[in-house]
Chain A
Amino acid sequence: MTQLLFFNVFNGLIVGAFYALMALGLSLILNLSGVINFAHGGFLAIGGYLAYSLIPYIGFWGALVLAPVLTAFIGILVERVLIRRLYGRDPLYSLLLTFGLAFIIEDGTRFIWGAQSLPFQVPSWLVTPLSDDYFFLTGYRLFMVLVVGIAVAGLFFILNRTRLGIRIRAGTLDLETVSVLGVNVRLLRNMNFGLGIYLAGLAGVLAVGQLGLQPTIGASLIMPSFVAIIVGGLGSLPGTLLGGMLIGVASGITTVFFPSATEAVIYVMMAAVLLVRPRGLLGEEGRF
């Protein structure tokens, strides 16, 4: 029992790390541009599929580095051509646009790579369990947690220590002033979008090693990411991180005691948070 619980809590942490990685990207875009990117799951899938196609040529490690970057470039392109036109308009329109994009990407990946689940090879030395008792502690899982940790640390480093990050944070608070101070806001939003999509692509490469590769992988991960943002608090990136981990662990624990509620439990958590603290756990008051 303890082992089962431990297994599921650990599993929940991994899943939560994915949610958090995805939700952080969503949050970045939402905070600076006011766009809920429904297509985020689609970009995650693109990351995974690109990695799949790249592995035969440059191996797993090369793909881990290159696939998210390529995904980010696609994201930057999409922002330039489509999403940019909708800034400043009713958020309804960007919602619908990214919604349509999600359809196109899902169907497009199905068209290119096929509807069936594809095998995804991770290096064999990562797959073997580290311990007989704790069979689920494979190297790959620890590795995923490590990569997510590095990515999150890198993100907060960028946001706190680099010029780009400081501008992003300033723009989140008051875009007009940032613009008046001479920052190219269009470029800033563009880069910020790319950064968010990079995180989605990275989550994609990691997730397919764990969850398998199929066109619907993005659609199944996007809703929990929304919940992570809401639970953690809109406008707060540490909150989003916390929210993702919390809902991951909560659904892990629920798997042990009441498996059929595994998915539903996170929405119950969201309802509870909204009831007690509508702005979310670490959300700022009065922002939304």
Chain B
Amino acid sequence: MQPADFTKQAPNIVVWALLLTMPFWLSHVGGYTELGSQVVVLGLAALGLNFLLGYTGVLSFGHAAYFGLGAYGAGMTLRYLLPSTGMGIIIGTLIGTIAGAIIGPLIIRLRGVYFAMVTIAFGQVFYFIAFRWSSVTGGDDGLTGWTRLPLHLGFTTIDIQNNPVAFYYFVLVMFAIAVGIMAWLLRSPFGRTLIAIRENERRSRFLGIPIDQHIWISWVISCAVVSLAGALFALLNNFVDPRALYWTQSGDFVIMAVLGGMRSFWGPLIGAAIYVVLRDYLSSMTENWESFIGLFFVLVVLFFPRGVLGIITRKVKS
């Protein structure tokens, strides 16, 4: 391996090494396996959002809707349809993706703050449906009466239901698939085109690139990844409630992406790790943790707008 290749690959190697060994060291640093799964799931959501936010340069503030649809899709499949964790994930992801694909054409022509505002507002429809249609969704109390089930692969059965470590690795496999596809797409001509749109939309348009179409595809991919994360989130908690769809959840994803660094591939995952651990710690320490989270938002915006990885890469380059 050439040294230059190595420095390029080093972050990937470090991230995967940490993720693969997480259940072994997490408890020694005061964590627990479910917290690790949470980091991976929310990190996946933040990475999915960043496909649109960081790489296409489109400001979506409503991704909680698709996260929540994925979660409800998975939960309701297991509750009402059939006892299969795999089908739950597939159906949940499909529902979120289809919803995104339908809403897409309404919003892709809008830009900047207007896009952000419309995406937030659209997210609320699903929140109110989940909230009001309580006979099916459980309303404010959330959807209960189901759990994730062991995986039957034919030759063997993996007990992701009762073994948190097995579930962690199951989540990690899903994460790897989605992240692998995104990384591959970003390296393809399509991904490069998205970056071109981010950098200079007008010039890209003059070059003959169908901008709206590209943004729509990027939006749908992003929604698909986020709804997969939502489905996994429901399975992780064995529970969904309307808060997964609420607009504050969208803000959480955006802050994760910004905190870690929007311009770097792994940034959102690191942001998710910091955010999840911080929230876990704060909510166990003080009743007013919301204020601290809010303060954290303010501080990140004022002092770390480039995010952790943005600062590190800047230091390394200089």
A residues touching B (Cβ–Cβ < 8 Å)? 30, 34, 36, 38, 82, 85-86, 89-97, 99-108, 111, 223, 226-227, 229-230, 234, 260-261, 263-264, 267-268, 270-271, 274-275, 278, 288
Contacts and interface: CB of A to CB of B under 8 A. Distances in A.
Given A91-B59, A227-B121, A85 B288 contact: no
Nearest to A283: B114
B122 to A, nearest CB: 6
B122 A95 contact: no
16 contacts: A92-B59, A92-B116, A93-B258, A95-B59, A95-B61, A95-B113, A95-B116, A97-B297, A99-B255, A100-B295, A100-B301, A101-B297, A107-B294, A267-B125, A274-B107, A274-B110
Given A97-B298, A97-B301, A100-B295, A264 B107 contact: no
B199 interface: no
Contact of B113 (A85, A91, A97): A91
Contacts, number: 125
Given A95-B61, A226-B117, A288-B110, A104 B125 contact: no
B125 A108 contact: no
A91 B112 contact: yes
Contact of A96 (B106, B125, B248, B258): B258
Nearest to A82: B298
A92 B132 CA distance: 31
Nearest to A34: B113
A36 B305 contact: no
Contacts of B297: 96-97, 99-101, 103
Contacts of B101: none
Contact of B302 (A36, A38, A82, A230): A82
Nearest to A287: B114
A101 B122 contact: no
Interface in B121-140: 121-122, 124-125, 128-129, 131-133
A85 B301 CA distance: 10
A94 B258 CA distance: 12
B288 A107 contact: yes
Interface in B96-126: 103, 106-107, 109-114, 116-118, 120-122, 124-125
Given A223-B121, A271-B122, 11 more contacts: A89-B305, A97-B297, A100-B293, A103-B248, A105-B294, A223-B124, A226-B121, A230-B117, A267-B121, A268-B125, A288-B110
Contacts of B116: 36, 91-92, 95
Closest 8 pairs between A and B when the two form their complex, measured CB to CB: A100-B297, A103-B294, A104-B294, A107-B290, A107-B291, A288-B114, A267-B125, A100-B294
A288 B113 contact: yes
Contacts of A93: 258, 301, 305
Contacts of B129: 264
Given A36-B113, A36-B116, A96-B301, A103 B122 contact: no
A36 B113 CA distance: 7
Contacts of A271: 103, 106, 122
Contacts of B120: 223, 226
Nearest to A272: B106
B296 interface: yes
